[in-house]
């Protein structure tokens, strides 16, 4: 029997994480297609919060690490932390096998660069391709275990999704 079959969600902590909804001037959201999944998985940039780092600082750092740019202005931050659990078959495998899922603080940013500033071929790439997507299209591209989280993020930040005048 494999290691993940012995693990229970309650035996593992949540990973503290930041999620970034990056919006362009047309009000569309950045999503990248993950390169480390066997099923097609698109997501917004996200990653761990380092000790002593604020969610906002972590968000800009993660964006630079994952998409090659941090050209953005801060729009807002969700008041609440959102958590999701990994599916049982990913316990002990995903998130370096150390976490049951992620506890996330989400921030919204307005992209201030051009598409040419985005480069997902970073030193430690996570995305194989990327695109701008209408906010209402996000849930259908996201892996099922993150859909509830994304629905809450969309509700919290939908007022930022209109075109910038």
DSSP notation for the chain:
--HHHH--GGGSPEEEEEEEEEE-TTS-EEEEEESS-SS--EE--EEEPPTT--HHHHHHHHHHHHHS---EEEEEE-SS-EEEEPPGGGTTTSGGG--SEEEEEEEEEEE-S-GGG-----SS--EEEEEEE-GGGHHHHS-GGGHHHHHHHHHHHGGG-SPP-
State which fold the 3-159 domain adopts: Nucleoside Triphosphate Pyrophosphohydrolase (3.90.79)
Higher model confidence: residue 3 or residue 106? 106
List pLDDT tens digits, range 99-149. Answer: 888 999 999 999 999 999 999 999 999 999 999 999 999 998 888 889 999
Residue 3's pLDDT band (cuts 50, 70, 90): very low
Q: Is the pTM of this model over 0.85?
A: yes
């Amino acid at each position: 029997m494999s290691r993940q079959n012995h693990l229970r969600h309650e035996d593992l902590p949540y990973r503290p994480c930041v999620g970034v909804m990056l919006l362009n001037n047309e009000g569309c959201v950045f999503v990248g297609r993950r390169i480390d999944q066997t099923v097609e998985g698109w997501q917004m940039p996200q990653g761990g919060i380092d000790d002593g780092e604020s969610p906002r600082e972590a968000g800009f750092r993660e964006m630079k690490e994952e998409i090659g740019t941090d050209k953005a202005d801060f729009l807002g931050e969700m008041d609440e932390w959102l958590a999701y659990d990994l599916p049982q078959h990913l316990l002990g495998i995903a998130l370096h096998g150390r976490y049951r899922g992620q506890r996330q603080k989400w921030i919204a940013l307005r992209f201030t660069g051009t598409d040419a500033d985005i480069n997902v071929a970073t030193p430690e790439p996570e995305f194989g391709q990327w695109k701008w997507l209408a906010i209402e299209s996000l849930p259908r591209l996201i892996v099922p275990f993150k859909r509830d989280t994304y629905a809450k993020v969309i509700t919290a930040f939908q007022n930022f999704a209109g075109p910038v005048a």
